């Protein structure tokens, strides 16, 4: 039986396709792994199974019409997608948003960061075999989605920011409910940590897996928790602050070894820092209008702009070229997951096949953003 | 003549039928128990639509598996494909012929005087079911999954064997009924003197049944679902049932060897005599239920080990510990210090 | 390694902590909502099935222009009518179709409407059907009567007087 011989021979390089339909690839990602026995020699990610032509679509839609489409790129973190796009158009048009709008945007973005990290934790733990954190974390995510629903009407594809601010003011009692949620969240995070952080099986699966050092991380262009897990202090909210992030205090967690465990710790701490930011924003929320004066028809002047936000996955950038019309001439999105995924072959080289799922989970990829 | 027929044919046949039926139903309802318990640990309700509290869910699952299309891969080795599930379910059920559920001679089918050896030997045949199932699927990933699972099972049988030998040292017999009676004589369950052996036995038992945290060969996040990928319908049901039946076997063995079988806690202490109101069979079932609960609790809590870490744990940690434990207990027994 | 470190590695304290957490949640209140016997009430601003009011619509076509996917199709003609002896003209709607199966419920149409003639805050989301093309293409009659749509308990269809749950003007009054 040729298959048996091949397997028993051991030293033959086999090409294994971690197909597009697989429970652990977080979307339709195809990985072609070259394995030598059990060790991985090379990995080639093949994407494009979720390409929907979003950037081409933007060329036909007016600027306000583009915003719902940005929701659907990284569908786990719609608010930060919106924030990037409207921030880019506002930068192009020179609009300053009112302070209340900036604070509301910050609260929504940080809530969205927590929600996105919850999805990351749930699926990462599930891939490594811990089935229960999924349910505990999603219960908290339900509460976040309820808050979103009360504010803008939708839970996942929010369409919650407009050029010039946010469309509506907060409903009555929203700040109290939000405050109650963020007061309870740290205790729940402790519960989840008790299941994972010191667990010897978890550590055995994640310590030393997918290591990348700081220089290589910068060379590959990684951003977000993969970069910070390797020890580089780089967060767009601190380096190029937008939306009044310079008025709130928060820390940026960094790791030391650049392995999966450090990235896990970085994201858990980021959730706590988001709680800190939300608390401060709720305390400092100023009064005033929530929308700046913008013309009825948005027609930015000719020019180009690059604007980036710190999304949960990394630096989400929008490069918009405007020709003076009502629709953009070109919108290029810098998806953080796309750039992070490029480092996958580097991260899995020499590891076992079972570690590939851990590495995919730790990069936190969302195919909607990679393929657009 | 009539009495002979009754004692040696009719009565054992009746007992076999009862126990087989009870076992198959128990294995099926283990799936209900697991789904409900796992769900409750995950702050959700499990199946609760089919029948009150979901009691009819296993029946619905069994019916579904009966009517499912039975696919056989079209390339060769059909006989071996058929043999795989048989080789895994039959040993799991045959083992119950020697397990004592209670004291009287009617509460077990037979008491072989090499009971423990019989159980270890017969349950090792189950490994063939896995290897042949993986091989006959003609699918290189199933084969890899099957081989890995077989390697895991064989490796963890060694420390399990040593843990069992520890109990045999204390009980001085291989017969399961004698082991329970030895615990009655000693007045304490063997878990107290042989605690390390119990821990090793249970961990090996979890690994033997391919359960979390040692379930990598059948995990979905691996390349495939392991050795039983190509099976559907009743053949898959057999693998499924065999896994639960094996869990019940390990639980029953642990109960008999370490937790006194049908004995109440501290069977010779007169102050606890009121506990005798609970019949011995119920004590046995309660203890087995406790172990099954522990199995499911493990599944709900722990991530899974990678295969090389799994093998490392078995050979580099459990084996030395079980050997040292055996030496220590042997020294105690030799020095006359009975449990 | 300190003595306690050694003890901690031999006795699986971390594993027991995990078991304790799962055990605690075993007795916690379960989060399941038994649909369809129980339903979670959507928020006031929840963007669900459309509501449309023929009386309030003044055929400005703002919704048609605002829709990112162009699923609203409007046709109208001008009619003359007399008031106080003066001849006036007004637009009368012939066709107001929404292809709901393509809708992404982004709310841009409702925000563009100056008269609250179209709104999404109806708390209704149960519009499932067995055949998509016919059932989910709503003309103005089907839209007002909510044909094939199951209203959330307590919600009225627009034809029976249902009103938006969130007035985009700013105040939220629960009506309808």
d(CA C10, CA C6): 6
The pLDDT value given to residue C173: 37
d(CA B283, CA A44): 57
CB contact under 8 A, C19 and B297: yes
> CB of C74 within 8 A of CB of C95?
yes
CB contact under 8 A, C22 and B45: no
- How many CA atoms are closer than 13 Å to the CA of A173, on its beta-carbon side? 5
The pLDDT value given to residue B339: 45
Residues in chain C with CB shorter than 8 Å from the CB of B297 are: 19, 22-23
How far does CA C34 lie from the centroid of its chain? 21
CB contact under 8 A, A354 and B140: no
> CB of C122 within 8 A of CB of C49?
yes
Choice among A87-96, A344-353, B117-126, C84-93 with the minimum mean pLDDT: C84-93
Bridge partners (DSSP) listed for residue A35: A14, A40
Write the class of the CATH domain A54-371: mainly alpha
In the three-class reduction of DSSP (H, G, I as helix; E, B as strand; rest coil), residue B35 is classed as: helix
Residues in chain B with CB shorter than 8 Å from the CB of C32 are: 44-45
Q: What angle do CA B32, B37, B38 make, to 5 degrees?
A: 100
CB contact under 8 A, B45 and C25: no
Q: Is the pLDDT confidence value at C174 over 50?
A: no
Q: What are the extents of the domains in chain A?
A: 3-46, 54-371
Q: What is the per-residue pLDDT across B243-259, written as a single tens digit (0 to 9) for each?
A: 899 999 999 999 998 98
Q: Which residue has the higher pLDDT, B270 or C33?
A: C33
Residue A339 structure tokens:
């750039």
CB contact under 8 A, C172 and A136: no
In the three-class reduction of DSSP (H, G, I as helix; E, B as strand; rest coil), residue B42 is classed as: coil
- How many CA atoms are closer than 13 Å to the CA of B231, on its beta-carbon side? 28
Q: What is the per-residue pLDDT across C46-60, written as a single tens digit (0 to 9) for each?
A: 998 888 888 888 888
Q: Is the pLDDT confidence value at C9 over 80?
A: no
The pLDDT value given to residue B76: 63
CB contact under 8 A, A202 and B300: no
Residue of C nearest to B199 (CA): C11
Task: Establish if C112 touches chain A: CB-CB under 8 angstroms.
Answer: no
> CB of B196 within 8 A of CB of B283?
no
Q: What is the per-residue pLDDT across A172-209, written as a single tens digit (0 to 9) for each?
A: 889 999 999 999 999 999 989 988 998 889 998 899 88
Q: What is the per-residue pLDDT across B265-310, written as a single tens digit (0 to 9) for each?
A: 877 777 777 777 778 888 888 999 999 999 999 998 999 888 888 8
**Nearest-CB residue to C32 (from B44, B297, B300):** B44
CB contact under 8 A, C25 and B301: no
Q: What is the per-residue pLDDT across B141-185, written as a single tens digit (0 to 9) for each?
A: 777 778 888 888 889 999 999 999 998 988 888 888 888 888 888
Q: What is the per-residue pLDDT across A18-38, written as a single tens digit (0 to 9) for each?
A: 777 676 667 788 888 888 877
Residue of B nearest to C34 (CA): B45
d(CA C103, CA C100): 5
Residues in chain A with CB shorter than 8 Å from the CB of B131 are: none
Quote the mean pLDDT of chain B: 84
Q: Is the pLDDT confidence value at A39 over 90?
A: no
Quote the mean pLDDT of chain C: 83
Place of tokens 């003044």: C58
* Residues 8 through 27 of chain C touching chain B, CB cutoff 8 Å: 15, 18-19, 21-23, 25-26
pLDDT band at C148 (very low <50, low <70, confident <90, very high): confident
Pairing of strands C72-83, C51-52: unpaired
**Nearest-CB residue to B301 (from A7, A16, A132):** A132
The pLDDT value given to residue C5: 66
ipTM: 0.86
Residues in chain C with CB shorter than 8 Å from the CB of B302 are: 15, 18
Distance in Å, alpha carbon of C7 to nearest chain A alpha carbon: 14
pTM (2 decimals)? 0.90
CB contact under 8 A, A169 and C105: no
Mean pLDDT to the nearest integer, A72-83: 91
As separate numbers, helices (DSSP H) first and strands (DSSP E) second, chain A gives: 16, 6
Please choose, from the candidates A232, C32, A78, the residue with its C-alpha nearest in 3D space to the C-alpha of residue B42. C32
DSSP secondary structure string for all residues of A98-156: -HHHHHHHHHHHHHHHHHHHHHHHHHHHHHHT--SHHHHHHHHHHHHHHHHHHHHS-SS
Please choose, from the candidates B240, B292, B284, B264, the residue with its C-alpha nearest in 3D space to the C-alpha of residue B99. B284
Residue of A nearest to C108 (CA): A65
Partners for C (CB, 8 Å, 3+ pairs)? A, B
In the three-class reduction of DSSP (H, G, I as helix; E, B as strand; rest coil), residue A277 is classed as: helix
- A333 secondary structure, DSSP code: E
Residues in chain C with CB shorter than 8 Å from the CB of A177 are: none
Residues in chain B with CB shorter than 8 Å from the CB of A125 are: 303
Q: Is the pLDDT confidence value at C127 over 80?
A: yes
Residue of B nearest to A125 (CA): B303
Three-state secondary structure of B76-105 = CCHHHHHHHHHHHHHHHHHHHHCCCCCCCC
Mean pLDDT to the nearest integer, A52-61: 91
CB contact under 8 A, A64 and C66: yes
φ and ψ at residue B132, rounded to 5 degrees: -65, -35
- Residues in Cβ contact with A282 at an 8 Å cutoff, skipping those fewer than 6 apart: A107, A175, A178, A179, A182
- Residues in Cβ contact with A133 at an 8 Å cutoff, skipping those fewer than 6 apart: A121, A122, A125, A126, A192, A195, A196
Q: Is the pLDDT confidence value at B211 over 90?
A: no
Place of tokens 């703002």: C62
Q: What is the per-residue pLDDT across A270-322, written as a single tens digit (0 to 9) for each?
A: 999 999 999 999 999 999 998 989 888 889 999 999 999 999 999 999 999 99
């Amino acid at each position: 039986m040729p298959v048996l011989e091949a397997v028993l021979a051991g030293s033959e390089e086999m090409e294994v396709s971690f197909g597009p339909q697989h429970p652990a690839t977080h979307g339709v990602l195809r990985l072609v792994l070259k394995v030598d026995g059990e060790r991985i020699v090379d990995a080639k990610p093949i994407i494009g199974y979720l390409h929907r032509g979003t950037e081409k679509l933007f060329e036909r839609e007016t600027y306000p019409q583009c915003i719902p489409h940005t929701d659907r790129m990284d569908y786990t973190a719609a608010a930060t997608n919106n924030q990037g796009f409207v921030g880019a158009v506002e930068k192009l048009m020179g609009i300053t948003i009112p302070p209340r709008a900036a604070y509301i945007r910050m609260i929504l973005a940080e809530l969205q960061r927590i929600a996105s990290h919850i999805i990351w934790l749930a699926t990462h733990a599930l891939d490594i075999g811990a089935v229960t954190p999924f349910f505990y974390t999603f219960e908290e995510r339900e509460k976040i989605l309820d808050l979103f629903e009360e504010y803008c009407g939708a839970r996942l594809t929010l369409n919650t920011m407009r050029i010039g601010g946010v469309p509506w003011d907060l409903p009555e009692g929203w700040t109290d409910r939000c405050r109650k949620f963020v007061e309870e969240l740290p205790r729940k995070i402790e519960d989840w940590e008790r299941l994972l952080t010191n667990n010897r099986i978890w550590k055995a699966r994640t310590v030393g897996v997918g290591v990348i050092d700081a220089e290589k991380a910068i060379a590959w262009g990684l951003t977000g928790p993969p970069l910070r897990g390797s020890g580089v202090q780089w967060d767009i909210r601190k380096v190029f602050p937008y939306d009044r992030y310079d008025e709130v205090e928060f820390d940026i967690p960094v790791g030391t070894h650049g392995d999966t465990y450090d990235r896990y710790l970085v994201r858990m701490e980021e959730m706590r820092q988001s709680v800190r930011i939300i608390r401060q924003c709720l305390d400092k929320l100023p009064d005033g209008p929530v929308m700046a004066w913008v013309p009825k028809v948005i027609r930015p002047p000719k020019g180009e702009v690059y604007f980036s936000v710190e999304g949960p996955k990394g630096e989400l950038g929008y490069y918009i070229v405007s020709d003076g019309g009502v629709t953009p001439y070109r919108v290029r999105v810098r998806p953080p997951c796309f750039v992070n995924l490029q480092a996958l072959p580097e991260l899995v080289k020499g590891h076992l096949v079972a570690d590939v799922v851990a590495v995919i989970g730790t990069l936190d990829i969302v195919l909607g953003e990679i393929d657009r | 003549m009539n009495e002979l027929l009754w004692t040696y044919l009719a009565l054992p046949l009746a007992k076999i039928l009862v126990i087989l039926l009870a076992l198959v139903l128990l294995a099926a309802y283990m799936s209900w128990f697991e789904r409900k318990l796992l769900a409750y640990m995950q702050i959700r309700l499990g199946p609760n639509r089919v029948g009150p509290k979901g009691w009819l869910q296993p029946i619905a699952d069994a019916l579904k598996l009966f009517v499912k299309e039975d696919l056989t891969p079209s390339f060769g080795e059909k006989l071996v494909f058929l043999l795989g599930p048989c080789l895994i379910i039959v040993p799991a059920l045959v083992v119950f012929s020697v397990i004592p559920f209670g004291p009287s001679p009617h509460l077990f089918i037979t008491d072989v005087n090499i009971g423990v050896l019989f159980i270890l030997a017969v349950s090792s045949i189950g490994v063939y079911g896995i290897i042949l199932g993986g091989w006959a699927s003609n699918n290189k990933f199933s084969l890899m999954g099957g081989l890995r699972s077989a390697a895991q099972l064989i490796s963890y049988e060694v420390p399990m064997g040593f843990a069992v030998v520890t109990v045999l040292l204390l009980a001085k017999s291989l017969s399961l009924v004698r082991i329970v009676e030895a615990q009655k004589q000693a007045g304490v369950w063997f878990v107290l003197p042989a605690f390390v052996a119990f821990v090793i036995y249970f961990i090996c038992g979890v690994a033997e049944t391919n359960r979390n945290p040692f379930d990598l060969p059948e995990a979905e996040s691996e390349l495939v679902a392991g050795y039983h990928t190509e099976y559907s319908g009743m053949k898959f049901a057999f693998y499924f049932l065999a896994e639960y039946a094996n869990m019940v076997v390990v639980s029953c063995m642990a109960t008999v060897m370490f937790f006194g079988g049908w004995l109440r806690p501290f069977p010779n202490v007169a102050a606890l005599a009121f506990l005798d109101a609970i019949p011995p069979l119920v004590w046995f079932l309660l203890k087995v239920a406790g172990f099954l609960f522990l199995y499911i609790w493990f599944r709900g809590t722990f991530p899974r080990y990678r295969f090389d870490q799994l093998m490392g744990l078995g050979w580099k940690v459990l084996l030395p510990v079980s050997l040292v434990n055996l030496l220590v207990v042997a020294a105690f027994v030799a020095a006359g210090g009975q449990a | 390694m300190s003595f306690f470190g050694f003890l901690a590695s031999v006795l699986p304290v971390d594993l027991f902590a995990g078991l304790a957490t799962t055990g605690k949640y075993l007795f916690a209140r379960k989060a399941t909502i038994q649909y369809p016997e129980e339903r979670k009430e959507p928020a006031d601003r929840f963007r669900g099935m459309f509501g449309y009011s023929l009386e309030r619509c003044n055929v400005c076509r703002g919704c048609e222009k605002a829709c990112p996917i162009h699923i609203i199709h409007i046709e109208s003609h001008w009619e003359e009518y007399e008031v106080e002896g003066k001849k006036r003209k007004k637009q009368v709607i012939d066709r107001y179709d929404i292809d709901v199966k393509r809708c992404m419920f982004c709310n841009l149409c409702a925000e563009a409407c100056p008269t609250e003639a179209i709104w999404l805050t109806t708390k209704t989301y149960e519009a499932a059907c067995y055949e998509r093309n016919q059932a989910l293409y709503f003309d103005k009659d089907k839209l007002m009567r909510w044909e094939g749509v199951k209203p959330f308990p307590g919600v009225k269809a627009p034809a029976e007087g249902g009103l938006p749950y969130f007035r985009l003007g700013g105040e939220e009054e629960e009506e309808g």
